[in-house]
Amino acid sequence: MSGFGHSGPDTLKPAYDMVVQARGGVMSITGEPGREPVRVGASVGDIVAGMFLGQGILAALVERGKTGLGRKVDVAMLDGQLAILEHAVAITGETGKPPLPAGARHPSITPFETFHASDGLFVIAAGNDVLFAQMCKTLGLDALIGDPRFATNLARCDHVKILKRLIETHTLTQDKAHWLALLDAAGVPCAPIQNVAQAMEDRQILARNMVVDLAAPDGGKPFKAAGNPIKISGMDDRLGNASAPQLDADRAAILAWPDEQTRSIAP
């Protein structure tokens, strides 16, 4: 894995997460309309490349198991950024016009953004006509269901500003908890906007063992870390009394692993 890959004119250029976010187009669609481009809060340049590398390694291992041949897996951080621009690449390819920052709003689905309640913002993602109608009934906006301006997703995207204003005339009358409870009960996708501390206390996240306590390797103060998001049947992902390793502590085991594994699966 490298910044720009092992081929092409810029293969030797240095890179960091923000460099590939900028060059790969991600920063150009991130942020509020009319404001300066901003970096995604998480290091998606680094993380996405690592995820693609993991998939490439698995694919190479499958082929090795079938043919006995090894492969070089070449993943560039820059390539990964373009690969995650699903709607932006499609829109640009079809229209010739690159999309601009749209804040929290999805560029091709409406309503799919933040809305104001009396005590702040929350999210509604009514991604199809059925959910839009259900949302309208739940919010007391039944009249919008038959309005030709909002009859289809394309029409709603064309009238996104007036639709948001009409929705917020109702959502501003009650607090977030009120609307989230009603929308949840009606099966309309919605969510509070939580900070990291709140997310780390979320009942669903905790139920999935996604916040774990790790002991310090030097006997110091224990600390919290994100759990493993990959859940596999028959494997307990609760870490118990696990601790973070000392720097370089597992070098010998890691270096020995490929030979051991190769011997164990050799025909």
Whole-number Å distance between alpha carbons of 74 and 8: 12
Percent residues over pLDDT 90 in the chain: 80
213 with 241, same domain?
yes
Task: Report the 3 state secondary structure along 219-264.
Answer: CCCCEEEECCCCCCCCCCCCCCCCECCCCCCCHHHHHHHHHHHHHH
At residue 244, does pLDDT exceed 90?
Answer: no
182 occurs within a structural domain: yes
131 with 90, same domain?
no
Query: Among the three residues 165, 193, 221, which one is the final residue of a domain in this structure?
Result: 193
Query: Rounded mean pLDDT of 2-10?
Result: 97
44 with 85, same domain?
yes
230 with 260, same domain?
yes
The tens digit of pLDDT for each residue in 8-53 reads 999 999 999 999 999 999 999 999 999 999 999 999 999 999 999 9
3 occurs within a structural domain: no
> Looking at the annotation, which residues are catalytic?
106
129 occurs within a structural domain: yes
Two structure tokens written together for 51: 């995820």
The pTM of this model reads 0.83
Residue 266: what pLDDT? 47
120 with 189, same domain?
yes
Residue 58: what pLDDT? 97
Domain interval for residue 82: 17-95
Closest CA to 141 of 172, 119, 112, 120: 172
83 occurs within a structural domain: yes
Closest CA to 82 of 12, 8, 27: 27
61 occurs within a structural domain: yes
83 with 133, same domain?
no
104 occurs within a structural domain: no
Query: Among the three residues 66, 95, 124, which one is the final residue of a domain in this structure?
Result: 95
The tens digit of pLDDT for each residue in 52-67 reads 999 999 999 999 999 9
Whole-number Å distance between alpha carbons of 180 and 192: 8
73 with 24, same domain?
yes
Average model confidence (pLDDT) across the chain: 92
222 occurs within a structural domain: yes
Whole-number Å distance between alpha carbons of 47 and 49: 5
C-alpha separations of 146 from 26, 127, 152 in Å: 37, 17, 10
Whole-number Å distance between alpha carbons of 255 and 258: 7
> Which amino acid is residue 246, in one-letter code?
Q
256 occurs within a structural domain: yes
The total number of structural domains that make up the chain:
3
Please check whether residue 154 is in contact with residue 211, taking contact to mean a CB–CB distance below 8 angstroms: no
